[in-house]
């Protein structure tokens, strides 16, 4: 499973990169807006920090505008993946960009039916939003399981990117379901390290070592 960070914050990306376990980045217009910096400039900066797929989302809503906007984003760096919303116009743009060899990430996917449309349009990635489905009282993990099963059954090449992961349990469930990618905020990735028995065990190891080899003077 590849790990992407769902952030446009450079400090978070640098910290994640140091661990050597971040394979890519997803951004969205809300995350970019939070940083208050020109969109294209920030995407270019991100590409210098993480050597992997970097999703950059279009803000046009009509295919005839999404297509040139997507091409402009793809020209920023070879690793840019053009993110498109799962709308009729987004799918139209996805088909057009995919047929020209431009990699796309179809986002805001909330049903297996929508995921089938993304695969049919040749999307490189599809992003089902686990947390936002849980937010409305449904089961986000079940959606990941359904899409993975359908894609395997049909031989679709589109990769399942479990998005809107809010807890380490979401990451575990997405991994168990077979999602090829999980994107998460930095704090979720960071929380995956935590276990009280690791801290307790390390503390004891160091105390024992100190007692045996570094006696108090």
Among 164, 170, 181, 189, binds ligand E4P (CB under 6 A): 164
| 118 Cβ contact partners less than 8 Å away, ≥ 6 residues apart | 86, 91, 94, 106, 109, 126, 158
Q: Which stretch binds ligand E4P (CB under 6 A): 87-95, 117-125, 128-136, 172-180?
A: 128-136
- For residues 174 and 141, the answer to whether their CB atoms sit within 8 Å is yes
| Region binding ligand E4P by CB under 6 A among candidate stretches 14-22, 43-51, 65-73, 163-171 | 163-171
DSSP 8-class letter at 178: T
Q: Which residue from 50, 126, 163, 179 is in contact with ligand E4P, where contact means CB under 6 A?
A: 163
- Nearest-CA neighbor of 184 among 162, 212, 157, 206? 162
The one among 3, 39, 129, 151 contacting ligand E4P by CB under 6 A: 129
Torsion region of 85: left, alpha or beta (phi above 0 gives left; psi -120 to 50 gives alpha): beta
What is the footprint of ligand E4P within residues 174-193 (CB under 6 A)?
A: 183
Comparison of 15 and 132: residue with beta carbon closer to ligand E4P: 132
Give yes or no for a contact between 133 and 165, defined as CB atoms under 8 angstroms apart.
no
Residue 7: strand, helix, or coil: coil
Would you name the residues annotated as active-site residues?
83
Cβ pair 145, 177 in contact under 8 A:
yes
* Options 104, 114, 127, 141; binder of ligand E4P; rule CB under 6 A: 127
Q: Per-residue x/- mask for ligand E4P, residues 53 to 92, rule CB under 6 A?
A: ----------------------------------------
Q: Which of 107, 114, 141, 158 binds ligand E4P (CB under 6 A)?
A: 107
Q: Report the C-alpha gap between 48 and 32 in whole angstroms.
A: 17
Instruction: Check binding of 104 to ligand E4P (CB under 6 A).
Output: no
Q: For binding to ligand E4P (CB under 6 A), which residues are involved?
A: 6, 26, 28, 107, 127, 129, 131-132, 163-164, 166, 183
């Amino acid at each position: 499973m590849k790990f992407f960070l769902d952030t446009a914050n450079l400090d978070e990306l640098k910290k994640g990169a140091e661990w050597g376990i971040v394979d890519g980045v997803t951004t969205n217009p809300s995350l970019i807006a939070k940083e208050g910096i020109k969109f294209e400039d920030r995407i270019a900066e991100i590409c210098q920090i993480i050597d992997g797929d970097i999703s950059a989302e279009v803000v046009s809503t009509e295919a005839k505008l999404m297509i040139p906007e997507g091409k402009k984003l793809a020209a920023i760096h070879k690793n840019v993946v053009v993110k498109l919303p799962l709308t009729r116009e987004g799918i139209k743009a996805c088909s057009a960009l995919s047929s020209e060899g431009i990699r796309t990430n179809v986002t805001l996917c909330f049903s297996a039916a929508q995921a089938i449309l993304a695969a049919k349009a040749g999307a490189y990635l599809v992003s089902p939003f686990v947390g936002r489905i849980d937010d409305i009282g449904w089961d986000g993990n079940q959606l990941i399981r359904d899409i993975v099963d359908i894609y395997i059954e049909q031989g679709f090449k589109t990769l399942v990117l479990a998005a809107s992961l809010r807890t380490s349990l979401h990451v575990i469930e997405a991994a168990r379901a077979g999602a090829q990618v999980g994107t998460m905020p930095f704090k979720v990735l960071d929380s995956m390290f935590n276990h009280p028995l690791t801290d307790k065990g390390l503390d004891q190891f160091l105390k024992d070592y100190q007692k045996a080899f570094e006696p108090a003077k």
